[in-house]
Amino acid sequence: MQIDEKTVRRVARLARINVTAAEAKSLQGELSGILDWVKMLDEVNTDGIEPMTSVEAMALRLREDKVTDGSIGPDITANAPMTEDNFFVVPKVVE
Amino acid sequence: MTDLTSLTLAAARDGLRAKKFSSTELTQAFITAIDKANPALNAYVLPTPGHALAQAKASDALIAKNQARPLEGLPLGNKDLFATKGIRTTACSNILAEFKPTYESTVGQNLWNAGAVMLGKLNNDEFAMGSSNETSRFGPVTNPWRRKRNGAIDNTRLVPGGSSGGSSAAVAANLCLAATATDTGGSIRQPAALTGTVGIKPTYGRCSRWGIVAFASSLDQAGPIARTTRDAAIMLSHMASFDPKDSTSVDTPVPDYEAALQQGVKGLRIGIPREYRVDGMSREAQTSWDQGIAWLKAAGATIHDISLPHTKYALPAYYIVAPAECSSNLARYDGVRYGLRVAGKDLTETYENTRAKGFGKEVKRRVLIGTYVLSAGYYDAYYLKAQKVRTLIKRDFDLVWDKVDCVLTPTTPNPAFGFGEKSGDPLAMYLEDIFTVTVNMAGLPGISVPAGLSSEGTPIGLQLIGKPFDEATLFRAAQVIEDAAGHFPVPTKWWA
């Protein structure tokens, strides 16, 4: 499968990664190579096979519905690049 | 006095309890060794000598009062993927900048609660994505082993394996007694094999993933790298636990793995999968595999040829599932809540600039592959297909557990390679994990134990794969191989 530059740019946009023209070019080849290689899986007959969701058959645990954590605003924002009064500061989203 | 840094974890534990030396002396010996070695090996990305000496002092006080806990005063290294409270944690990625967690990983906390001392944070491939430790933001780690060519030492720098290359190099070079590590496709076992150390990836769910930087959540597991099977058993006994904070943590008691070590393999049924005889495997890997079979047989095990027919599809399936999960997990690095931010004209451009600057080349490649295989129109063809193949890989193992108790394979097709020899070709690098990745895909435990040296004088490892939660059997069989093969200390401390 040949991945073209337009596809690289579309996927990079979905992944929110800015790619330079040079990166887009080398990624075309690399992604095409990897996707060609994984197409080997088409040889495997998977008719009627359930996709794996968990390696061990286990039901998700439930816990009591009560507050076990909280009031740690300063901890949560401690590593943020920009904060104000325990809020994260981001560029304006709504005019 | 003998060099304290060359002691095994078990011997150091006994020495501390017998008050032959103090934890402060032991810890100081490692701090001195790290100072000398780190410029050449780059195993530690953040040594924490002050923290270590404070812990050692507290341990000495408890030892004096005969109140030593199981790992009291024993100095360990901690992979930089484990969150450490108040101590920089980066997963060796620029995007985490100077991130200082406000919490400790469960596995780390278990070790410190047992009395262990942390010497510092160990290098790894960025976000644990790599098999050579060449993708770290802090630069590559050098393997303490060097090749011999025509009888003379060749100065070519070799990789220590990856992603836990800092852990494997530090353990092999006596820069800690043992280390934490993580394994998503082979990241504990492959570096252990390339450095002559023992590494075990336990069953999925055995160690809590809480507080470990996530790569591919359905595959990630923590485990130790150590110098002996006994040391690995001691470490795992204290790393593993049930943790309500990890929804996939399994609530079963943690056995005393050390107690199982001397049980031997008499009557144990060992499977030899024919599909692991692959093209491109070195003759030496084949020879050591045959030797391992002979050792286990001599110790009373029975050998059985088995078939795991979907083996060759594990690696391509992995390179769909792991990138898919990584693209989801790494979405959190958005320049808002922690780490690096590179401002743009609006929020989207801020995201795009931050992630372009913060992620390295291999991480970007995997996020993009993952985004592609999960995107509309491709999900069924790639992701769903890979998850079905994964079911078949696990079924292969389920079907052999009636006939055998564990499976013996090589850990890697070849011994340690040089810097740059594979880093230009993603597919060549991915093939490093050909024998280890099936174990993650099926959620099973796997251990790598040193089995001998190549003609170049570098280590070769053998892998044992077990039934879910049967790590004890792996330790028993690994001990038999270790007893027969002997130990493989690094021949010269060329960096000291």
Residue B233 falls within a domain, yes or no?
A: yes
Six-digit token pair at B16?
A: 């501390």
Q: What is the pLDDT of residues B118-134, one digit of tens each?
A: 999 999 999 999 999 99
Residue B115 falls within a domain, yes or no?
A: yes
Residues 6 or more apart from B283 whose CB is under 8 A from it?
Answer: none
Residues 6 or more apart from B490 whose CB is under 8 A from it?
Answer: B144, B145, B172, B173, B174, B196
Q: Residue B3: phi, psi to the nearest 5? A: -65, 115
Nearest to B96 by CA among B121, B130, B115: B121
Q: What is the mean pLDDT of chain B?
A: 96
Beta bridge partners of B180: B224
Are B327 and B447 in contact, with CB atoms under 8 Å apart? no
- Name the residue in chain A with its Cα closest to that of B388: A51
The CATH number of residue B167's host domain is 3.90.1300.10
Cα–Cα distance measured from residue B351 to residue B333, given in angstroms and rounded to the nearest whole number: 8
Q: Which domain holds residue B209?
A: 4-266
Mean pLDDT of the A14-30 span = 96
Cα–Cα distance measured from residue B294 to residue B139, given in angstroms and rounded to the nearest whole number: 41
For chain A, report the end-to-end CA distance as a whole number of angstroms.
43
Q: How many domains does chain B have?
A: 1
Q: What is the pLDDT of residues B433-462, one digit of tens each?
A: 999 999 999 999 999 999 999 999 999 999
For residue B408, pLDDT beyond 70: yes
- pLDDT band per the 50, 70, 90 thresholds, residue B402: very high
CATH architecture assignment, domain A5-43: Orthogonal Bundle (1.10)
Per-residue model confidence (pLDDT) at position B423? 85
For residue B343, pLDDT beyond 90: yes
Helix (H) / strand (E) element for B9: namely helix B9-17
- Cα angle, residue B141 at apex, residues B226 and B150 outer, rounded to 5°: 90
Are B86 and B97 in contact, with CB atoms under 8 Å apart? no
For residue B1, pLDDT beyond 60: no
Q: What is the pLDDT of residues B179-236, one digit of tens each?
A: 999 999 999 999 999 999 999 999 999 999 999 999 999 999 999 999 999 999 999 9
Mean pLDDT of the B286-295 span = 97
| DSSP 8-class letter at B384 | I
Chain A, residues 24-63, CB within 8 A of chain B, namely: 27, 30-31, 33-35, 37-38, 40-44, 46, 49-56, 58, 60-61, 63
CB of A94 within 8 Å of a chain B CB? The answer is: no
Instruction: Please report residues of A whose CB lies closer than 8 A to that of B365.
Output: 27, 30-31, 34
Nearest to B426 among A30, A40, A82 (CB): A30
Mean pLDDT of the B41-68 span = 98
Are B379 and B324 in contact, with CB atoms under 8 Å apart? no
Chain B interface test: which of A43, A44, A45 (most B C-beta within 10 Å): A44
Are B430 and B336 in contact, with CB atoms under 8 Å apart? no
Residue B408 falls within a domain, yes or no?
A: no
Q: What is the pLDDT of residues B171-194, one digit of tens each?
A: 999 999 999 999 999 999 999 999
Mean pLDDT of the B416-420 span = 94
Mean pLDDT of the B288-303 span = 98
Mean pLDDT of the B481-494 span = 96
Mean pLDDT of the B294-312 span = 98
- pLDDT band per the 50, 70, 90 thresholds, residue B2: low
Mean pLDDT of the B271-295 span = 94
Helix (H) / strand (E) element for B304: namely strand B302-306
| DSSP 8-class letter at B157 | P
Helices (H), chain A: 5-14, 21-38, 73-77
Mean pLDDT of the B374-394 span = 95
Cα–Cα distance measured from residue B266 to residue B356, given in angstroms and rounded to the nearest whole number: 56
- pLDDT band per the 50, 70, 90 thresholds, residue B279: confident
| 3-state DSSP assignment of residue A21 | helix
Instruction: Please report residues of A whose CB lies closer than 8 A to that of B211.
Output: none
